[in-house]
Amino acid sequence: MDRYAFLVTGSNCCGKTTLVKRVVDRLTADGFDARNIFSVRADNDGRFKGKVPDQEKALLEVWGSEAGVAIFEGTRINNPLTRVAKAHPEIRQLEVLVVLQKPDVMRAHMEARCARKNKTFRKDYWSIRQLEYEGMRRYPNYFSKKRITNVKLFTMDLEYRASAEIEAHLEARIREVLR
């Protein structure tokens, strides 16, 4: 069996964590061996918040694991994961799913999250230009510069309806790989 890694990335508040959790839950409920699916929520895992060499060491442990599929989800994991993938392409094939958000959608999602967490939305920082860059251009530009070609783009809407499309794509690919 070939081993694969799927990176689900994109801007803040675009639904990455929720959709990855739902896919993994459905697969394990359908009888897929959980030991064959390694899921990393990098933004919530202390191993991936430290210095880059430490992040790469932790990533290499997952990258080299025997699991048929490794799913990485996060906003800040792209650079160390790309380096590990390029250094060790013989271990796993990398597929990237980027979740994009238009500025008005990203702003609404971030304002709602701030309200839920009783935090202040920083209007001074999140200008339309900054929202456009973070939500629509940052991640496609990054993977283009790094010459990562196996990238699929999805655009999230205000009601997170694109989650179903992303989940269906990710789940189908994982089922295909683990067959």
Residue 27's pLDDT band, with cuts at 50, 70 and 90, is very high
Q: Report pLDDT for 101.
A: 96
Q: Report pLDDT for 99.
A: 96
Confidence check: pLDDT of 45 > 90 = no
Q: Report pLDDT for 86.
A: 93
Q: What is the mean pLDDT of the chain?
A: 94
Task: Using the Cα atoms of residue 95, residue 99, residue 100 and residue 103 in order, give the sign of their dihedral.
Answer: negative
Average pLDDT over residues 6-22: 94
Task: Parse the chain into domains and list their residue ranges.
Answer: 4-99+149-178
Higher pLDDT, 51 or 118: 118
Q: Report pLDDT for 1.
A: 52
Confidence check: pLDDT of 68 > 90 = yes
Q: Report pLDDT for 46.
A: 85
Higher pLDDT, 46 or 112: 112
Residue 24's pLDDT band, with cuts at 50, 70 and 90, is very high
CB-based contacts of 141, cutoff 8 Å, min separation 6: none
Residue 69's pLDDT band, with cuts at 50, 70 and 90, is very high
- Over the stretch 82-134, which tens digit does the pLDDT of each residue have? 999 999 999 999 999 999 999 999 999 999 999 999 999 999 999 999 999 99
Per-residue HEC secondary structure of the chain comes to: CCCEEEEEEECCCCCHHHHHHHHHHHHHHCCCCHHHEEEEEHHHCHHHCCCHHHHHHHHHHHHCCCCCEEEEECCCCHHHHHHHHHHCCCCCEEEEEEEEECHHHHHHHHHHHHHHCCCCCCCCCCCHHHHHHHHHHHHHHHHHHCCCCCEEEEEECCCCCHHHHHHHHHHHHHHHHHC
Smallest Cα–Cα separation from 8: which of 83, 87, 69? 69
Confidence check: pLDDT of 78 > 70 = yes
Question: What predicted TM-score, i.e. pTM, was given to this entire model?
Answer: 0.93
Q: Report pLDDT for 79.
A: 92
Pick among 3.30.160, 2.60.120, 3.90.1720, 3.40.50: CATH of 4-99+149-178: 3.40.50
Higher pLDDT, 42 or 26: 26
